[in-house]
Structure 1
Amino acid sequence: MQSETAHRMLRHALLATFVLGCFVCLFLSRYNPLSSRDVGAANLAEPAEAVKIFLSNKSNEKVITLLLWFWPFGVRTNLSGCSSRFNIEGCSLTADRNFYDEADGVIIHHRDISGDVSNLPKLRRPPFQKWIWMNMESPTNSPRTPRIENLFNLTLNYRQDSNIVLPYGLIEAADGKEDFVLPSKSKLVCWIVSNWNSDHVRVKYYNELHKHVQIHAYGRAFKAYVSKNDFLSTIASCKFYLSFENSIHKDYISEKFYNPLSMGTVPVVLGPPRQNYENFIQGDAFIHVDDFSSPKELADHLLLLNNSEEMYLRYFEWKRYFKVRMTIFTTEHACVTCDYLHKHKEYKALSNIGGWYWGD
């Protein structure tokens, strides 16, 4: 009898242990360390800091605070949307200089300090903070100053050998095979130019080219202003567009190239060598002036394409598989910089921006 009682008590103990174990497992499976109570505790901190604590726990990464010291060219933009627009998480972007002490990075636009470095931050730089030199202008159009040496940790630029790279446009894979429809064309060759300088290579080339083919030219030099609303539609109405850069430098391929690509117009480019362009898009999407021995030979080729729809349409084969996305000035630069700072925690300093960018 005692033995039976002992066995019964042992079975009850084992059953109780099993039930308790199941309860513990269920509790652990349901338990979330980021509970509402924990978030409430985080809210005891400053509101902005509470958000950072929440995001840090959620992504297991520190939220990057990035300060824009100047609005480039004085143009204010919307700094929100890194996550929704570019799929970049954990970014707190601001132009409020009161956040200087806690900023992980400070973007400083070159044009705003090229003549006067006295408008740089006066406070001591926190040891964890990186200064980022931002410049999207070509070396020819960027005033050089030796006073920027030994100030910066990183470069933000269109050049492919920059620390943080962001060209003027991107050629991305299309979501599916695209059915390209050629816009209606009423003009053969067009050019919209605001910066006219008779010493520019592009102006000299234009002066020869227009002797052999009609060019619809717009801009201040031609007393034919094109409004912002009509800018892209004007480009789309032309079979060819003169994507002539104002200066020729490595990787300097501006919106003058990407605008006609996006609008279904063939760019005729004057800039860095053809191979440099082909680093960004396949070679049969554009025409390079270097492919011809003279402006007259180029004009003859454009007239030939004008008379052959089959040959002309070959320049749009790439559009079946790819699309153009223009980069969003300032906002995307800040988001991409935030992403870089997330991925690169190592120390880095720059001692020779001048030699790298302008050449010695």
Structure 2
Amino acid sequence: MLRWRLWRLFWYVALLLSVLLIAMLCYTPSFHCLTQEPLENPRHRPVVVLIWLWPFNKTFELDLCSSLFNIHDCILTADRDFTDKADAVLIHHRDIAWDKSNLPQGPRPPHQKWIWMNFESPSNTVQIPGLDNLFNVSLSYRTDADISVPYGALVQAEDIEDFVPSKKDKLVCWIVSNYRLHHKRMQYYKELQKYVKVHVYGDLFERHVSKQEYKDIISSCKFYLSFENSVHKDYITEKLFNALDLGAVPIVFGPARKNYERFVPGDSFIHVDDFPSIRALAKHLFLLHHREALYLRYFRWRRHFHVMTTFFPGENACRACEYLQQNRQYQVLKDLYQWFWDTSEGLDLPLSFY
């Protein structure tokens, strides 16, 4: 009996000590244990991204991640005093010197990642020597980049409603500034001009158009030539998304139709490859011009989606910060050239939109 009483007394003392210990470590009324919350959690501290080279020497506001893209705990800076402290250095390919003399020259901190950013097509990207094994993260329009930021996207609409395009007074329009006779898109344009009038605007045709004129022109046309300057995997630029957003049906020249269908519904655009000849394409345009019901089918997607275009380069920097918050592992881009300049399609099946 005495042994049992001593054993029970031992458990009472142990229980009392446990309660006292909890009281020391926790506080009321939430019973939030201080030992569970270190004063500084390195995995949740703000991520610092240093903009080393302003893309095309174009500056942007550095405090936009939270307000515009709902990406928090990001510090963007262009102050090179943060070179040793930054979690990542964002470097725009087009602005790298051929001898790399304008890149950071000192020893790289062990925790720091260099981000290679490029939104030009491979045909318009100079292969600067010595970039393999230099960068850790790729940031591009490509869907297989570490950080993929396409030129635009369709976003689910909150309400479903029919879309009625604005009144049109032109059939086909094209705004072009990068005019090169050897571009294949020029051959398509010249051939199409034989069968249908194309209203052409831009630096080398009439004059430079302002942002507002750009919107007004596209909105006034039934069809818009969303012709890319080169054909590469995923290289689908604002030329497509602006036309969709402004109520014109895009006529696209670029990668294969199935590549476009990874970004937008297949019945939202016309691909030049859909026709055996440019003459057949022109005939189809006249058919749609006279058959309003057929033309309006190209806007059925507007009942479900609206267009979002990428805010370059500010959004790209914010997406880089978001990526770093979720990916702490270290890697090196050993075959940057081989990956980006690969001309193979390597496409998956189209996405489902409806």
Q: Do these two structures clear the TM 0.5 threshold for a shared fold by scoring above it?
A: yes
Structure with higher helix content: 1
* Partner residue, 1:253: 236
Q: Does 1:74 align with 2:57?
A: yes
Structure 1, 184-193 or 85-94: larger mean CA deviation: 85-94
Whether 1:127 and 2:110 are equivalent positions in the alignment is yes
Larger C-alpha radius of gyration, 1 or 2? 1
Tell me if structure 2 keeps the 8 A contact 1:82–1:91. yes
| CA positional deviation for 1:174 | 0.9
Distance 1:80 1:179, change over 3 A: farther
2: distance between equivalents of 1:111 and 1:122? 19
Find the counterpart in structure 2 of residue 6 from structure 1: none
CA distance in structure 2 between the partners assigned to 1:227 and 1:88 by the alignment: 31
Structure 1 residue 89: Cα displacement: 1.8
Counterpart Cα distance in 1 of 2:127 and 2:27: 64
**For the residues of structure 2 that align with 1:337 and 1:73, how far apart are their CA atoms?**
18
> What percentage of residue pairs aligned between the two structures are identical?
51
In structure 2, distance between residues paired with 1:211 and 1:78: 47
Q: Tell whether 2:197 aligns with 1:214.
A: yes
Query: Which of 313, 319, 330 matches 2:296?
Result: 313
Letter in 2 for 1:237: S
Aligned residue in 1 for 2:6: none
- Do the aligned partners of 1:158 and 1:167 also contact (CA within 8 Å) in 2? yes
- Cα distance between partner residues in 2 of 1:310 and 1:114: 54
Q: Distance in 2 between matches of 1:130 and 1:167?
A: 22
- Where does the alignment leave 5 or more consecutive residues of structure 2 unmatched? 1-15, 344-354
Partner of 2:147: 164
Partner of 1:286: 269
Residues 192-211 of structure 1 mapped to structure 2, 5 A cutoff: 192-211=175-194
Matched residue, 1:29: 29
1:249 offset after TM fit, Å?
Answer: 0.3
Which residue of structure 1 aligns with residue 208 of structure 2? 225
Which of 337, 350, 354 is equivalent to 2:320? 337
- Alpha-carbon deviation of 1:29? 2.2
The root-mean-square deviation of aligned C-alpha atoms, in Å, is 2.3
Q: Find the counterpart in structure 2 of residue 99 from structure 1.
A: 82
Q: Distance in 2 between matches of 1:316 and 1:86?
A: 27
Indicate the SS of the match to 2:84: helix
**Contact kept in structure 2, 1:146 and 1:354, CA below 8 Å:** no
Is residue 98–residue 129 contact of structure 2 (8 Å, CA) maintained in 1?
no
Runs of 4+ that moved beyond 3 A: 30-34
Structure 1 residue runs of 5 or longer lacking an equivalent are 1-16, 43-52
Offset of residue 359 of structure 1: 3.4
Structure 1 residue 231: Cα displacement: 0.8
TM-score (norm 2): 0.85
Cα distance in 2 for residues equivalent to 1:304 and 1:132: 49
Superposed displacement of residue 86, structure 1: 1.5
Cα pair 1:80 1:331 within 8 Å, conserved: no
Tell me how far apart the structure 2 counterparts of residues 123 and 80 of structure 1 sit (CA, whole Å).
28
CA distance in 1: counterparts of 2:71 and 2:172, whole angstroms: 40
Structure 1 counterpart of 2:305, one-letter code: F
SS of the residue 2:255 aligns to: coil
* Structure-1 residue corresponding to 2:333: 350
Letter in 2 for 1:127: P
CA distance in 2, matches of 1:132, 1:277: 27
Instruction: Say which SS state the counterpart of residue 148 (structure 1) adopts.
Output: coil
